[in-house]
Structure 1
């Protein structure tokens, strides 16, 4: 039995933040804060709402990621589709209160075996985004 199936590859990043879930939730769901650590967007926290992330276009990519909100449990869970350049994946943020702050788990799932470049790009990108999220949280009011 192979240890990777057709679309079951995921990028998972887990971090603990010294901030309450409410503060993390705002950074994940308020468009202006989201733009500071992830990308420009027209996000609205409503299940079924379509939105886009917009980055600077680069060679072979127009800089647009098409998304749709799949699930919202305030201060606990946020999920949306992430579609770009043939990649149809799902991003899931899970927030868990812990002593002194919040544990955040981000999983982007649905990478096919033939999407190695997208998979590696997501691994790199999410590490960078999480670092930027830490900076935004450290600099924003509670």
Structure 2
């Protein structure tokens, strides 16, 4: 059997400087550069880190690569819209004028945006996502 010591999520980006600015300045997350310049680490509360690595021929995934739980999706969306972020709209979801899906993820609300590399980031509140992951 494989012995796993730890797990860290990762995804790629074609412009590490633009992605660093987005996650640090727009989303307000703690971001550190990889010592060898190969990418960066996004430090999340609770001790989780996400590694974003540089890839010249990056192609964004067609799915959400990172979900961020927030206290209130409406407040987060309003703050990000004020910073120029455009929220994604998807067929099959009833989204309001701001792009928010109500009652998503076991009662919370959700919305999606993309980073400068086109990676889809989800916002969720209500605790549904955290509850599902802790089972």
The alignment's TM-score, normalised by the length of structure 1, stands at: 0.28
Higher strand share goes to which structure? 1
Point out which structure has higher relative CO (alpha carbons under 8 A, 6+ apart).
1
More helix by share: 1
Length-normalised TM-score, structure 2: 0.29
